[in-house]
Amino acid sequence: MSRSFPNGFLWGASTAAHQIEGNNLNNDWWQLEHAAADHGVQFSGDAADSYHRYQEDMRLLADAGCNAYRFSIEWSRIEPSPGRFSRAELAHYRRMIDTALGLGLTPVVTLHHFTHPIWFGERGAWLGDGAVDAFCRYVEQACTILDGVEWVCTINEPNIVAVNHGQQRRLAEGKEYQFVGALPDAEIGQALIAAHRAAAPLVRAATGAKVGWTVANQAFLPAPGCESKHAEVRHIWEDMYLEPARGDDFVGVQSYTSQLVDDNGVVPHPDHPDNTIMGWAYRPDALGIAVRHTRDVVGDVPLVVTENGIATSDDSRRIAYTQGALTALHETISEGADVRGYLHWSLLDNFEWGRWEPTFGLIAVDRETFERRPKPSLRWLGQIAQANALTS
């Protein structure tokens, strides 16, 4: 049985600059990697050297049959000092856009994917005076190279940014770092919402692109009798960030797993042999839960799955997970969800924010030689893209 997707559907994969480029030595994550090495944070270093090898990476994606590539541009490269912009770096990212277009890949460009310049952090980051203005100043410069880009994400997973920076804030205040159960910091979240609301119309006016942001959907489910706590947690984690997207051109849905919420809050993933390398429950159906909930909150705003994948060393398991996720996605489309694309996380095995062990990629990368080794899952996804349908 063939299950078709809408005409013009985006099929591809996603990456983030810091995780693949290498040597982003002027941002806060590079700084953290050095400061927190004693706490188990690993070093990104050369990463996948995609700063130099992006043409090869895009060609592998296009040759497999996909038609879209989501990547981010690195704020700290473009604005290494406050108010001083690198024309060479802007030209570099313009070449990436041109390469994608030349290969028949629709570029989906993210302006902020977890990292910011060190100088921005030294000024208080998102809670500093003038943070929104500083972000908008960078965005205005980024817009000068976005001609021909149809899809722009302002900020990736603001709810996760609010978690990460909230924990750094706790440490700065002398409080203990919460490794389990941390919630997004609401004050930082409000600053990110303000930044998105200020930046989105700038991008729209300057480029004519469709503009939105991406939200990490946790696909929370209530334990029996815990519906009230479930609604409370879901608002803190997701709805606070989905509600501002109601006026956007699209919203990015990012989903990997599902968790229960009981009266104490989010239930940790229980140990199970099916858990992924990340320690998450194996839940390909989570994507359907995420899309349905996002649609419930944002209404008729179009959706794009901007991240979905599994950390596994078994590529047959990656294919099985993705087959399940796409089956769940197709069901939501059949129910009326306006979904415009599916972008797998990730194109490459990469630096997974402090760890090298989780392998999410459709392409393996030798960390010594940087040789790219496409996995069967890349060819499999490309065949689905070419058919624009699930055929089994």
Reported as half-sphere exposure (CB side, CA atoms, 13 A), residue 28 has a value of 19
Label residue 245 exposed, middle or buried (CB < 10 Å: 0-12, 13-18, 19+).
buried
Instruction: Provide the residue type at 190 as one letter.
Output: Q
Dihedrals phi, psi of 102, to nearest 5 degrees: -65, -25
Label residue 74 exposed, middle or buried (CB < 10 Å: 0-12, 13-18, 19+).
buried
Cα separation, 81 vs 83, in Å, equals 6
Asked if 94 contacts 101 with a C-beta cutoff of 8 angstroms, the reply is no
Reported as type and span, the H/E element at residue 11 is strand 10-14
- Residue-wise DSSP of 105-137: PEEEEEEESS--BHHHHHTTGGGSTTHHHHHHH
Cα separation, 369 vs 355, in Å, equals 19
Is 157 an active-site residue? Answer: yes
Asked if 241 contacts 204 with a C-beta cutoff of 8 angstroms, the reply is no
Active-site hit among 157, 238, 307, 352: 157
Known catalytic residues are 157
